[in-house]
């Protein structure tokens, strides 16, 4: 059962080519000990997903797409669909701040991608978070509210159990300026309150909410200790197998190693 596991996702973004990705996976698989209470997910560039899917031991790591198009097939030059990714990945990032802010993805695009992922048996990781400007204007909770409603508009409560929410304040992504744990805690409570409002108490307690933004091996444990934080979405620190493994180790709560 995935829902009582911590989820640690490494988002490699547009880094590592096919050979480097394969070598990285090889190195990581040698040092990471598999525990029942942690799900480790690797999110390489789309280019490498297929080859890594043949190399990966799914009992050790799952794979996530960083992005995909929401239609299943057709004349959409340059795009890759969730249907094409089905069976290759288990997770799909949706609405990452870089997709929203660099590539102009709208809540409608993001909602369609959440639906496409669910339709294709891929767990969507809906990324939400405020910019520095929105934060300084006191709009953080309004933004989280709007992005949640925008992303989940067509998702049923049964489908919600397969969804992950990643809280990634945009000002903390790739800046080295990680959010204070108290700040993350308040934002995650706001997210759960909003889910309760939309789907009820049970859903708000069981949905998995993770944090991302300049997490390092030194700061990981502070977030993982927060009630309501079910894991981490790691960018820069996931590009080094040793530092990523240090973060994974922080997520274990003493469960036995799975051989
Ligand atoms: P950094 O950990 O590099 O800040 O990136 C976070 C992120 O965007 C993960 O998706």
Prediction pTM value: 0.96
Two structure tokens written together for 142: 């309004």
pLDDT digit string, tens, across residues 82-134: 999 999 999 999 999 999 999 999 999 999 999 999 999 999 999 999 999 99
Phi, psi torsion values for 248, nearest 5 degrees: -60, -40
Nearest to 126 by CA among 108, 142, 113, 140: 113
> Separation of 172 CA from ligand 1 center, angstroms?
8
Tokens 């309150």 label which residue?
Answer: 193
What distance in angstroms lies between residue 234's CA and the mean position of ligand 1's atoms?
A: 5
Query: Does 259 have pLDDT greater than 80?
Result: no
Q: Specify the CATH class of 6-258 in words.
A: alpha beta
Q: Where are the domains of the chain?
A: 6-258
DSSP annotation of 89 reads B
Q: Is the dihedral of CA 93, 95, 96, 102 positive or negative?
A: positive
Residue 197 falls in the annotated catalytic set: no
Among 217, 41, 181, 59, smallest CA distance to 124 is for 41
Contact 235 CB / ligand 1 (< 6 Å)? yes
What is the 8-class DSSP label of residue 78?
T
Is residue 201 pLDDT above 70, yes or no? Answer: yes
Distance from Cα 167 to the centre of ligand 1, integer Å: 11
Residue nearest to atom 1 of ligand 1 (CA): 235
Given 96, 105, 130, 145, the catalytic residue: 96
Strand partners, 35: 257
- Residue 41 has phi, psi (to 5 degrees) of -125, 130
Q: Tell me: the pLDDT tens digits for 60-74? A: 999 999 999 999 999
Block residue for tokens 């889910």:
195
Q: Shortest CA distance to 168 belongs to which of 9, 3, 50, 18?
A: 9
Cβ atoms within 10 Å, residue 54: 8
Give the model confidence (pLDDT) of 31-65 as tens digits: 999 988 999 999 999 999 999 999 999 999 999 99
Please, where are the H alpha helices in the chain? 18-31, 46-55, 82-85, 97-101, 107-119, 132-136, 140-152, 157-160, 181-199, 201-206, 220-224, 241-251
DSSP state of 73: S
What's the pLDDT at 2?
Answer: 45
Position 1 confidence tier, pLDDT thresholds 50, 70, 90: very low
């Amino acid at each position: 059962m995935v829902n009582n596991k911590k989820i640690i996702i490494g988002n490699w973004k547009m880094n590592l080519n096919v050979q480097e990705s394969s070598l990285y996976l090889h190195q990581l698989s040698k040092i990471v000990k598999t525990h029942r209470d942690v799900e480790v997910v690797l999110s390489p560039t789309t280019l490498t997903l297929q080859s890594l899917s043949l190399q990966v031991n799914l009992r050790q790591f799952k794979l996530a797409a960083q992005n995909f198009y929401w239609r299943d097939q057709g004349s959409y030059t340059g795009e890759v669909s969730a249907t094409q990714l089905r069976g290759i990945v288990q997770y799909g990032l949706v609405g990452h701040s870089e997709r929203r802010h660099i590539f102009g993805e709208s809540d409608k695009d993001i909602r369609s991608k959440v639906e496409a992922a669910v339709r294709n048996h891929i767990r969507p990781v809906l990324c939400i978070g405020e910019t520095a400007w929105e934060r300084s204007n006191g709009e953080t909770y309004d933004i989280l509210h709007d992005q949640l409603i925008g992303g989940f508009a067509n998702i049923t409560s049964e489908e919600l159990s397969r969804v992950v929410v990643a809280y990634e304040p945009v000002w903390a992504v790739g800046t080295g300026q990680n959010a204070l744990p108290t700040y993350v805690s308040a934002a995650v409570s706001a997210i759960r309150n909003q889910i309760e409002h939309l789907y009820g108490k049970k859903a708000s307690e069981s949905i998995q909410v993770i944090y991302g933004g300049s997490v390092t091996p030194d700061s990981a444990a502070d977030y993982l200790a927060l009630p309501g934080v079910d894991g981490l979405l790691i960018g820069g620190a996931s590009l080094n197998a040793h530092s990523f493994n240090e973060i994974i180790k922080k997520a274990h709560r003493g469960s036995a190693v799975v051989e």
